[in-house]
Chain A
Amino acid sequence: MPLNPALKKVMVIGSGPIIIGQAAEFDYAGTQACRALKEEGIEVVLINSNPATIMTDPEMADKIYIEPLTLEFLTWVIAKEHPQGLLPTLGGQVGLNLAVQLAEAGVLAEYGVALLGTPLEAIKKAEDRQLFKRMLDEIGEPVPESIVVETVEDAVAFANEVGYPVVVRPAYTLGGTGGGLAGNEKELRDTVSRGLALSMIGQVLVERSVAGWKEIEYEVMRDGAGNCITICNMENIDPMGIHTGDSIVVAPSQTLSDFEFQLLRTASLKIIRALGVEGGCNIQFALDPSSFNYYVIEVNPRVSRSSALASKATGYPIARVAAKIALGYRLDEIKNAVTGKTSACFEPALDYCVVKIPRWPFDKFREADRSLGTQMKATGEVMAIDRTFEGALLKAVRSLEISNACLNSPEYQTLGEVQLKERLRTPSDDRLFLVAHALQRGFDVGVIAELTGIDRFFLMKIKEITDLAKVLSEVKDIADLTPALIRQAKLKGMSDDLIGRLTGIDPEEIRQFRTGFGIKPVYKMVDTCAAEFEAATPYFYSTYDSENEAIPTSKRKVLVLGSGPIRIGQGIEFDYCSVHSVRALREEGIEALIINNNPETVSTDFDTADRLYFEPLTLEDVLHVVELEQPEGVIVQFGGQTAINLAEPLARAGVRILGTAVEKIDEAEDRERFERLLSLLNIPKPPGRGASSPEEALAIAREIGYPVLVRPSYVLGGRAMEIVYHEGDLINYVKNAVAVSQHHPILVDKYFQGKEIEVDAVCDGQDVLIPGIMEHIERAGVHSGDSIAVYPARLPQGVQDRIVEDTCKIARALQVRGILNIQYVYYNDEVYVIEVNPRASRTVPYLSKITGIPMVRLATKIMLGRTLRELGYSGGLAQRNSFVAVKVPVFSFGKLTGVDTFLGPEMKSTGEVMGVDRSVSQALYKGLLAAGCSVPRSGAVLLTIADRDKNAALPVVRGLAGLGLKFYATRGTARFLSNNGIEVAEVNKIAGGSPHVVDLIRSGKVNFVINTYNEGREPVRDGFQIRRAAVEHGIPCLTSLDTAQALLEVISFLQSGKETSLVALDEYGR
């Protein structure tokens, strides 16, 4: 069926901010979809609240709305734009839910908008547990037996029928609290009675347990004519019981014979047909490791995280094809964009092995519960491709960029056998490393298989690595190395660095040794067809084999380094920047090469760059590509800290770094050199310096006065950074939190609680273009990534001039060619520099969008030798437009139990949204709404304010009182407020007994919480429990009075009856 000619305008819903469980994959999917639609001459209307996305770029859609993803705003856009169709299945669960809401609210019918692709009934059948079960029963596909019970006896009767163990899930509790696995009747009775008590509706679901079974996924596509294909299957290395987003996954399946493979494939096709999906769909199965028995666990009737992975693993553009199907094309009418010849109606054949490993945020959240289960905790993931499993696995491990990525962490050495067994039994983020350690300790593979449920096949593969590691660790001298041994190590995926660590030989020496014997990787193509057809895709991976297929062209070429997995502090913003840099290179007629390893991203789409190398971002892996391609330079400014950290070692290896000189990057990043530069430029910074002993730290603090900001000098990104108010706390910090030594000094700086100001600028060595100045709502002390940012900053003219002047001075002094970011604090009429980043920052997409100045493109072209003037820009602060843009951080605290939500100098947010309007309060309202914070017009506030903040809190509380809000407060705060004439209801602290402050939150009587930080981080403290309770009940909890002040302004705006307006991206410049 050809395209419906009545379809002229189609709306696409994005997925909003990055949160755990919903990352960059939907930018990738949405971008592909938008392009697929535009190719057909269709006008695309896009709505997404996340500015750090490629899909919200002007060329991706005809009309772009960076607005909150709510029913109200979507309806508004539909009323204004009148699209004929809506594509609901490419914006993740958020997009899908909104499409369902629009349909159910009658909006689609009212405006005559057709739901394209998978019909609503299919979505409902897959999403509604009861309908889903009924459908599967009808077609004879098995689901785990389950029953909803209201009594313990019914649960026991059911368990006696299906057998133990069973899973108990209370209905309507948060985060699965009260549920669990019951292995016998006694455990069942306990769990069910507890669950019944916790459930709001007195029901629990009892289900046959398939824990320990193999978890297998299929990515399936179906068109409107009923043609069905499977794109790929995937096997979770971790068995059932761990969320697939938290599982290490391999594609294709490794331990399934053709019979099992086809059994589940046939079931997948049956299910997608029965559902009537028109587009992509993901189906998860549990397969008994010792029979053909299987169960259908879940179906996602949409493009998902797994489909992004399947796309990158196979080269098959699932989102693009799904979009074409939604327009009415049949699979066989769509071309396979990879081969350019064959049709999209085929099943990819892989001739390599793909491994995905999740990236967890536990390096940032040390206090979080690291065990893995049904609640996903990873923020991102990496993927690696190789012709051996071991190669892919170790490449993926390298790509994670985590410090414990070794096979034998010293931490594990101290574990006793019982402890080690217990840790193997409990799934956690480091189980892979624990397995490797146990193997090295000589644990039997069978024992580990028993404890972990991981198939022996995978354990034996890991054993291959650890066995070889043992052989290598016996080599003590380069003279004992043989080419055969190195070749073997390379086939097993070991880096020079790892071999170096095992043998004690300098990695550079190993590199010299092996290149002397010609041991270096070749590159193979990901072509969807296992070389059966000639393909034109420029998508490569390295492997140690004989034939190289990546033959460099004779064109001018530049390599862009990507940013790796999404993690806290390094998110999708950097993928946005990398993609823009690639586009700028292509605009300049230069072949753009990219290295990245994040399967969720636009940068790793096969047609983003001229050539994609899907590789870890380590010196060795990057150098291999550089040696093959011989690019004229490497761009390191856009891949976050990952890329910038490679600048120095690459330069040392003789690679030309484009843009700002490596020596100048070092000057910006090396604290001492940078301080010298600032004093030379006469630009002040907060007083402070490095201390190499606890005594010295205390002396510095005494000299500069408390509060002080302390942090280790050797970690980046705000890790282990704290604001210390008293000497006692500083002693505690230097004694317990970080080990201070000569080799690991800590930095002690004066902490100014002033207004934080941030600037991104582009410089060609002479002219400095400042697209805009942003201010942070929260005072310095809250990590800039966790603060609400406002553009343009509201500053006195003199201060603004000072910032422009200082920015220009610093940029020129560092001879910046490209982009830089500077953070200032404005305190007591003085402007201090806090930090300079000689690279793109997280605010670049946001600032580029609101100002319309394509910073990354300009910076990239400058690196190629162009000047700002040539590019049509002049220096200085750009003229602002009439809009205000607010960037609001988004957190995923609900998914990370045990994490304190208090905002401080360590970054905690996972994503961000943008609100744009004509005034700050309007933009803030949109931003907060988009961030999922429902701002109440009235109601009650719970206040627990630390003593040192009490006076400062008074104006905020008075303001809220003036707007008619009611207050609850714990004793100290309540007394303080009463004394100041504010009416307040006192509530018990937790120790005071029920009903106490946490009960109050649970009761739903308060609309939000203002809780400022009291020292002491132990989770038992009231503050922590209050904050966690607020998270778990979805109530906004503000830990900064500045945020509270902003909220006050928004409530005041809402009460004023004034309206927000709908603003399209193309209106910003007007």
Chain B
Amino acid sequence: MRAYLALEDGTVFQGEAFGSDVAHSGEVVFNTGMTGYQKILTDPSYCGQIVVLTYPLIGNYGTNNDDFESKKPWVRGFVVKELCDYPSNWRSVMKLDEFCRKYGIPGLTGIDTRALTRRLRNYGTMRGIIASGEQDPEKLVKAAQGAPSISGQDLVRAVSTRQVEVWGEGPTRVVVVDFGAKSNILRSLVRRNCTVYLVPAWTTGEEILSYQPDGVVLSNGPGDPKDVMYAVETVRQLIGKVPIMGICLGHQILALALGGDTYKLKFGHRGSNHPVRDCETGRVYITSQNHGFAVEEKSLPESEVVVSHRNLNDGTVEGLRHLKLPVFSVQFHPEGAPGPMDSGYLFDHFMNMLA
């Protein structure tokens, strides 16, 4: 069946449909990782977005029961160059096509994804709509233009856990505030002998402290950090009372809580190959990234925080460290999944803070 991706700038790509036949709008973003599509689909940070993969052959190893970063996929739509119809991997239980159909994700295949990527790179991320069947392209463009912007929606509320979940049974108690946490963050903590309390994003500071945590992790999540000012308020209450580690959206929320500012990047960083320098050691790590917003360096209170990590490509802020308190955060994903685990040492660093 025919399917379309229409962008707000009027560009329309026509290809073949896969997955669900619903029409979805969202912010169109590209990811340059060559593996890890199932983890990308199930990463709650992609909530509200239509994801384009730049690697052209997708679905080769099918989908399996393990590679879930949350309970279900969150992307609004999925665009690939070529969808593999005969996956081959010992863990595969379902074709990607069936997987997308099962979870209601509309897919588009057979389009020039590189042309689309170049457009997004040159003109920035855009709103778009994926639809299948007989469609009027002009109407689709209108629909894309009418779609909500990524900012202004409280996407965190949609993806966050509603009930408290407990992971692991180690001696170290860590509360993870779930703005859309990837499971591998939780697994990384459990592996380091933690009992993890995964709490809803709207949990108050007081409630969090009632778990008597040794430390708090502010998780990754979707959307604009300024849409979750309630979380910023919560973090303000926690600073100084407990060691804190922020990841991705958690990092941006922490920056806002410390009085800093955030801004939207032209087309963001999404992929598994972003070099980040640890400013203290000078060492560079290849990191997994997925963010459309970044922390404004100039906005940070110099007396309280320093930039601990910086992106080697564009110099943007990739990490913060509080000068006096056991509080730090990174923009990238030390848990990888998908992507390299080179910066997994940051979890160790966090554990040392709690000791």
Contact = CB atoms under 8 A, between A and B. Distances in A.
Given A353-B56, A547-B114, 6 more contacts: A252-B35, A343-B275, A348-B273, A389-B57, A457-B88, A534-B121
A736 B266 CA distance: 71
Given A262-B336, A331-B284, A351-B32, A346 B274 contact: yes
Contact of B115 (A229, A255, A456, A546): A546
Given A226-B283, A343-B275, A349-B271, A533 B313 contact: yes
Contacts of B282: 225, 330
Interface of B, secondary structure class, is loop
A257 B55 contact: no
B34 A349 contact: yes
A388 B56 CA distance: 7
Contact of B61 (A257, A529, A534): A257
A254 B88 CA distance: 9
Interface string A849-882: 0000000000000000000000000000000000
B349 interface: no
B283 A225 contact: yes
Q: Which of B81, B84, B91, B273 has the most CB of A within 10 A?
A: B273
Contacts of A524: 114
A531 B88 contact: no
Interface size band for A? 35 or more
A712 to B, nearest CB: 43
B91 to A, nearest CB: 7
Q: Which of A262, A290, A545 has the most CB of B within 10 A?
A: A262
A713 B183 CA distance: 69
28 contacts: A225-B282, A227-B283, A229-B275, A252-B34, A255-B60, A256-B61, A257-B61, A257-B67, A257-B89, A258-B33, A261-B36, A262-B341, A332-B275, A347-B273, A349-B54, A349-B271, A351-B55, A351-B56, A351-B113, A353-B56, A389-B57, A457-B60, A524-B114, A530-B32, A530-B55, A532-B271, A545-B115, A547-B115
| Top 5 closest pairs, chain A to chain B, by CB | A258-B36, A547-B115, A457-B88, A530-B54, A347-B273
A259 interface: yes
A547 B82 contact: no
A956 B89 CA distance: 66
A347 B286 contact: yes
Given A290-B90, A291-B90, A350 B34 contact: yes
Interface string B318-355: 00000000000000000011111110000000000000
B33 A349 contact: yes
Nearest to B88: A457
B273 A351 contact: no
Interface string B270-296: 011111010000111010000000000
Contacts of A265: 340
Nearest to A252: B34
A746 to B, nearest CB: 48
A252 B337 CA distance: 18
Contacts of A289: 90
Contacts of B273: 346-349, 529
Interface in A205-237: 225-230
Contacts of A345: 275, 284, 312
Given A353-B56, A388-B57, A531 B117 contact: yes
B118 interface: yes
A342 interface: yes
A387 interface: yes
B336 A255 contact: no
B81 A387 contact: yes
B118 A547 contact: yes
A269 interface: yes
Nearest to B14: A546
A247 B323 CA distance: 55
Interface in A332-350: 332, 341-343, 345-350
Contacts of B286: 229-230, 346-347
A455 interface: yes
Interface in A378-392: 387-389
B241 to A, nearest CB: 36
B87 interface: yes
Interface string A494-515: 0000000000000000000000
A340 B115 CA distance: 21
Contacts of A732: none
Interface string B125-162: 00000000000000000000000000000000000000
